[in-house]
Amino acid sequence: MIAVLVVVVVFVKVLEQFGLLEAGYDDSVEDELELSAVRHRPEGLEQLEAQTRFSRKELQILYRGFKNECPSGVVNEETFKDIYAQFFPQGDASTYAHFLFNAFDTDHNGSVSFEDFVMGLSILLRGTVQEKLIWAFNLYDINKDGYITKEEMLDIMKAIYDMMGKCTYPVLKEETPRQHVEVFFQKMDKNKDGVVTIDEFIDCCQNDENIMRSMHLFENVL
């Protein structure tokens, strides 16, 4: 009896192998179709020119680089992390890249299209100081509720320190990010309520010479 069962089972498996019994084949085919259908074409050059502060030539150069790395026209988080990690080989840039991705992905659909990319860059490279500070605030405000809490700041700080990696001098200690966050909050949190609002943030930064100067650092990058 057992032998008969065994034989039947083997027979069924063999038939499956030969595709005569299609058990659940359809799903995988559909998956494949879906992946290839994801393709994004950006808006026209004129529209982008109007919406951003880049010239035609600059947009062309940007798009060529973008399309080279992401032929499908959109960057998903994995690719984004890969690309960003290539610039920081010693440490782990994935956490910070995650925050950056959320900052660029303004419509929160899980992928950064060329428009998002270029808008973000436009603010960062050609925007006013105010706009840049607002962008930075958005980056720190992980849950986008308008307040930067200590936990959020700690996450960001840890992510930044992670990028440095282990081989630093002096050696990074566990509490360094925490101390850094304390310093930050002392500076920024005027009413000492434990959170930093956007106005406190902008005010404080505008009064700090170093920060002001550093905002103009990357203006001629492109």
Partner 1 sequence: MAAGVAAWLPFARAAAIGWMPVASTPMPIPPQDKRKAQDGLIILNVSGTKFQTWRTTLERYPDTLLGSTERDFFFHEETSEYFFDRDPDIFRHILNFYRTGKLHYPRQECISAYDEELAFFGIIPEIIGDCCYEEYKDRRRENAERLQDDEEMDMNNDVAPVNLTFREYLWRAFENPHTSTLALVFYYVTGFFIAISVMANVVETVPCGTLPNRSKEVSCGDRYALAFFCLDTACVMIFTVEYLLRLIAAPSRCKFMKSVMSVIDVVAIMPYYIGLVMTDNDQVSGAFVTLRVFRVFRIFKFSRHSAGLRILGYTLKSCASELGFLLFSLTMAIIIFATVMFYAEKGSTATKFTSIPAAFWYTIVTMTTLGYGDMVPKTIVGKVFGSICSLSGVLVIALPVPVIVSNFSRIYHQSQRAEKRRAQRKTRLARIRAAKIRGTNAYMRYKQNGLLIDALEEVTAPRQALVGKSASPPFESQHHHLLHCLEKTTVRINHEFVDEQTFQANCMEISVVNKSGSRTSSLSSSPHGLSSCCSRRHRKKSSFSLPSTNNQELSTIQIRERPVSNSRSSLNAKLDETVPLKCDEAYISPSMVRLSAPVATSSDDASTATTTYSQSNIVRVSAL
Contact residues: partner 1, CB under 8 A:
3, 7, 57, 61-62, 64-66, 68-69, 83-84, 86-87, 100, 103, 117, 120-121, 124-125, 132-133, 135-136, 139-140, 153, 156-157, 160, 180, 183-184, 201, 205, 210-211, 213-215, 217-218, 220-222
> Taking the complex as a whole, how short is the minimal distance between the CB of residue 164 and partner 1, in angstroms?
11
Strand partners, 73: none
> Taking the complex as a whole, how short is the minimal distance between the CB of residue 22 and partner 1, in angstroms?
26
> Taking the complex as a whole, how short is the minimal distance between the CB of residue 21 and partner 1, in angstroms?
22
Output the furthest CA–CA distance in the chain (Å, rounded).
88
**CA separation for the pair 141, 215 (Å, rounded):** 19
> Taking the complex as a whole, how short is the minimal distance between the CB of residue 16 and partner 1, in angstroms?
19
Which residue, 74 or 121, has its beta carbon nearer to partner 1?
Answer: 121
> Taking the complex as a whole, how short is the minimal distance between the CB of residue 26 and partner 1, in angstroms?
31
Q: Is 8 helix (H, G, I), strand (E, B) or coil?
A: helix
Which residue, 4 or 37, has its beta carbon nearer to partner 1?
Answer: 4
Strand partners, 112: 75
Only one residue has tokens 């030539």, namely: 57
Which residue, 113 or 132, has its beta carbon nearer to partner 1?
Answer: 132
**Tokens representing residue 130 in the block:** 């105010």
Which residue, 28 or 68, has its beta carbon nearer to partner 1?
Answer: 68
* Spatial CA neighbour of 178 closest among 169, 186, 170: 186
Which residue, 36 or 86, has its beta carbon nearer to partner 1?
Answer: 86
**CA separation for the pair 113, 42 (Å, rounded):** 8
Number of Cα atoms under 13 Å in the Cβ half of residue 22: 5
Which residue, 57 or 192, has its beta carbon nearer to partner 1?
Answer: 57
> Taking the complex as a whole, how short is the minimal distance between the CB of residue 176 and partner 1, in angstroms?
11
Kindly report the length of the chain: 222
How many other C-beta atoms lie within 10 A of the C-beta of residue 222?
14
Region at 166 (left for phi over 0; alpha for psi -120 to 50; beta for the rest): alpha
